[in-house]
Amino acid sequence: MSEQTGTGRTTRTETAPTGANTGTPAQQALLAVLVSGERPPAPNALSTSITFGHRALLKIRHVPEQLFDVTLFPIIMTLLFTFIFGGALAGSVEDYIQFFMPGVIVQSVVMITMYTGTTIRNDIEKGVFDRFRSLPIWRPSALVGMLLGDTVRFLIASAVMVGVGLLLGWRPQGGPVGVMLGILVVLLFSFSIGWIWTFIALLMRSSGAVMGVSMMVLMPLTFASNIFVSPTTLPGWLEAFVGVNPLSHVVTSARELMGGAELGSSFLIVLLWSAGFVLVFGPLTMWRYRDAR
Amino acid sequence: MNDLAIETSGLVKTFGTTRAVDGVDLAIARGGVHAVLGPNGAGKTTVMRVLATLTRPDAGTARVLGRDVVSDSKEVRRRVSLTGQFASLDEDLTGRDNLRLIGRLFGYSGRGARSRAEELLDAFSLTDAGDKQVKKYSGGMRRRLDIAASIVVTPELLFLDEPTTGLDPRSRNEVWDIVRAMVSGGTTVLLTTQYLEEADQLADRITVIDRGRVIAEGTSAELKASVGSGTLVVRVMDRADRPAAREVLGRELGVEVREEIDPSALTANVAGSAGVTRALTALEDAGIILAQFSLGQPTLDEVFLSITGHTAEDVEPERGSTEKTSTEEQAA
Ligand SMILES: Nc1ncnc2c1ncn2[C@@H]1O[C@H](COP(=O)(O)OP(=O)(O)O)[C@@H](O)[C@H]1O
Ligand SMILES: [Mg+2]
């Protein structure tokens, strides 16, 4: 500390020179990447949505625990309900599973959609959405992409359950095509109700709250439906609710397609409900997304 | 008017009853570094988020690079980039994946995004860490990656919100170098900081904000000049000389000379440099050998104190390691 300084008391930590042409190699490398940072033509909405979907799938590779809810959970659901209800209600597992399998697929997948909301809430809390929202892209694409990525997870869950069902003696009359079409209806509906969870995720401040509200919505929908029992055995008021419950229509459509029966009006009702969810909760979500934090 | 990078008028943003931004007027030219300096809770982040179109103001207007942040937000987003106070990265993905993702979102092809990611990792000394998940990065690496993600496509204007808070001195210097390189590449940088030293080091002009309002604006020198006098610090080689030196200085400068805790140091507030040369010559004539002397303009700490009546640190309970370091440096 014996140097003679005449400059100032503010301590100056001497770092690399600030001039444009005289930088250290590190600074020159930085300058070079800055200069080469030319803007490619702007990507379209579909391409950015798919990129975000890809991000969701990359996460599975790094966080494989994420696959628990689309593998173990559906397997447990299938086994549990088949053996409990199968024994008690239908007398035999073999008989019951023919009726029950499409319903358990719908129920499990719809339950898993709840995770969409908590995932988004966590992402927002970690700040990664600040980056996405500051990009010059079609704004909904981050959310659309997440829902697309989730749709892949739902597909995995459905495939797992179909496999378990077949092992337990499920013989769908609709054949592979019928089963796949049935799953498609389930995926379409799940994508649509995903917008309810995105909206709730942007409304609530904690992932616990998001989970709680989602449960409150889903519990009555899944249990007051035709998933487990035929609604004609229910008291009148409950039967009426089961009749308007969109989930019942998803189950009915899936049963018809997978069972090789003729597709009834339920399919149309599912389409209308799905469109309704996207048209109502899509804009609501984007309205909250403007100030998301 | 269009050569301004940022122009706001009467900007207000409230959260419940908190007026986070309370009527901010800014006029910031293009080019160079502009610092927004203020203690924790002053409203720096909120101002930045409004300017970067992440949140909308409740009142007032803001134009960024000539575009309104509310009505023309997409055009603003096309031209600016924000590195937030907390890393906006996907912690589950690797550094490489994060950069490729942003590249794709800017419209690079798969291959283009890959090679852009490599260039950036290389320039930011992150190549070796490229395949590690971001959650395993150190604070400095995370910050560098976050800045790299902000310049995948070179922005005209870069917002850096407290880019060095919580970083160790070495990482802080790296970030400073990056900022300087950005500026020499032609990007305008607006950065916020709680660290007076940082604003002094990097910024061409400084806006001081406190409790959501602008309380001062100018170059570092102007802000210091507004406080008035500077400070002469003298350290004698031989501690025994200190009383004699104090007497000589007091006589020549005509002001009070204080003995510091450091047993060889003396300080005095002086009006200008005029009398100082004479005083130092007088010390030499008296045979007193100096280890060090410095004539400092007031520090920004003193500026802040004189404008607001409290120091930047008063309002901030916990302080980052960087600030501690710079205080230690000043005490040394
Ligand atoms: N999302 C928010 N909700 C409620 N209060 C907020 C929010 N963001 C900021 N604030 C409040 O606004 C004030 C300014 O905050 P901020 O802009 O983060 O300051 P700085 O970045 O200067 O520390 C603080 O009092 C803070 O508590
Ligand atoms: Mg802040």
Answer yes or no: is pLDDT of A154 > 70. Answer: yes
Q: What are phi and psi of A96, to 5 degrees?
A: -65, -35
If asked whether residues B189 and B49 sit together in one domain, one would say yes
Answer yes or no: is pLDDT of A170 > 70. Answer: yes
The residue-averaged pLDDT of B25-30 equals 95
- In sequence order, what DSSP letters do the residues of A166-219 get, joined into one string? HHHT---TTHHHHHHHHHHHHHHHHHHHHHHHHHHHHH-SSHHHHHHHHHHHHH
pLDDT tens, position by position, B270-301: 766 678 888 889 999 989 999 888 887 666 67
If asked whether residues B77 and B200 sit together in one domain, one would say yes
Interface probe for A, chosen from B184, B206, B284, B299 (most Cβ of A below 10 Å), is B184
**Touching A: B residues 71-130, CB under 8 Å:** 74, 77-78, 80-82, 84, 86-94, 97, 101-102, 104-109, 112, 116, 119-120, 122-125
If asked whether residues B72 and B134 sit together in one domain, one would say yes
What is the rounded CA–CA span in Å between residue B39 and residue B20?
A: 13
Inter-chain contact B106–A63, Cβ cutoff 8 Å? no
Q: Has residue B305 been placed in a domain?
A: no
If asked whether residues B186 and B121 sit together in one domain, one would say yes
Domain count of the fold of chain B: 2
**Better pLDDT: B245 or A91:** B245
For residue B80, give the amino acid letter.
V
pLDDT score for B317: 40
The residue-averaged pLDDT of B59-70 equals 96
The enclosing domain of B105 has a CATH number of 3.40.50.300
Inter-chain contact A30–B82, Cβ cutoff 8 Å? no
Q: Has residue B269 been placed in a domain?
A: yes
If asked whether residues B135 and B264 sit together in one domain, one would say no
ipTM computed for the complex: 0.84
pLDDT score for B327: 34
If asked whether residues B30 and B76 sit together in one domain, one would say yes
pLDDT score for B315: 47
pLDDT score for B22: 94
Q: What are phi and psi of A197, to 5 degrees?
A: -70, -35
Inter-chain contact B105–A135, Cβ cutoff 8 Å? yes
Q: Has residue B271 been placed in a domain?
A: yes
Which residues from A are below 8 Å from B197, CB to CB? 10-11
pLDDT tens, position by position, B182-204: 898 889 999 999 888 889 889 99
If asked whether residues B76 and B113 sit together in one domain, one would say yes
If asked whether residues B262 and B325 sit together in one domain, one would say no
If asked whether residues B135 and B274 sit together in one domain, one would say no
In whole angstroms, how far apart are CA A281 and each of A137, A197, A206, A275, A286?
Answer: 21, 9, 19, 10, 8
Going by C-alpha positions, the residue among B78, B100, B81 that lies closest to residue B90 is B100
What is the rounded CA–CA span in Å between residue A233 and residue A227?
A: 13
B154 touches A at CB < 8 Å:
yes
pLDDT tens, position by position, A65-93: 878 888 898 899 888 877 777 666 666 77
Ligand 1 in reach of B45 Cβ (< 6 A): yes
User: For residue A46, what is the nearest residue in chain B, using CA coordinates?
Assistant: B105
Can you give the length of chain B in residues?
A: 332
CB B266 within 8 A of CB B246: yes
Q: Has residue B26 been placed in a domain?
A: yes
The residue-averaged pLDDT of A259-285 equals 95
Answer yes or no: is pLDDT of A60 > 70. Answer: yes
Q: Has residue B194 been placed in a domain?
A: yes
Ligand 1 atom with the shortest distance to the CA of B39: 22
Residue with CA closest to ligand 1 atom 27: B41
Q: Token digits for B27?
A: 């006029």
pLDDT score for A21: 47
Q: What is the pTM of this model?
A: 0.81
If asked whether residues B187 and B268 sit together in one domain, one would say no
B205: CA distance to ligand 1 center in Å? 24
Ligand 1 in reach of B42 Cβ (< 6 A): yes
- Tell me how far apart the terminal alpha carbons of chain B are, to the nearest angstrom: 46
Answer yes or no: is pLDDT of A54 > 80. Answer: yes
Q: What are phi and psi of A26, to 5 degrees?
A: -60, -40
What is the rounded CA–CA span in Å between residue A126 and residue B98?
A: 14
Range of the domain at B267: 229-297
**Band of residue B328 on the pLDDT scale cut at 50, 70, 90:** very low
Q: Has residue B304 been placed in a domain?
A: no
In B248-329, at which residue ranges do the beta strands (DSSP E only) sit?
257-259, 265-270, 290-296
The residue-averaged pLDDT of A224-246 equals 82
The percentage of residues in chain B with a pLDDT greater than 70, rounded to a whole number, is: 88
If asked whether residues B182 and B59 sit together in one domain, one would say yes
What's the burial of B95, exposed, middle or buried (CB within 10 Å: 0-12/13-18/19+)?
buried
**Band of residue A19 on the pLDDT scale cut at 50, 70, 90:** very low
pLDDT score for A90: 63
Select the residue of A10, A54, A131 nearest B296 (Cβ to Cβ): A10
What is the rounded CA–CA span in Å between residue A56 and residue A132?
A: 14
If asked whether residues B168 and B283 sit together in one domain, one would say no
The percentage of residues in chain A with a pLDDT greater than 90, rounded to a whole number, is: 53
Q: Has residue B306 been placed in a domain?
A: no
Q: Has residue B244 been placed in a domain?
A: yes
Q: How many CB atoms are closer than 10 A to CB B301?
A: 17
Strands B4-15 and B59-64: antiparallel
The percentage of residues in chain B with a pLDDT greater than 90, rounded to a whole number, is: 58
pLDDT score for B228: 59
User: For residue A11, what is the nearest residue in chain B, using CA coordinates?
Assistant: B330
Angle at A183 between CA A179 and CA A188, to 5 degrees: 150
The enclosing domain of B271 has a CATH number of 3.30.70.100
pLDDT score for B311: 60
A53: CA distance to ligand 1 center in Å? 32
Answer yes or no: is pLDDT of B217 > 50. Answer: yes
A65 touches B at CB < 8 Å:
no
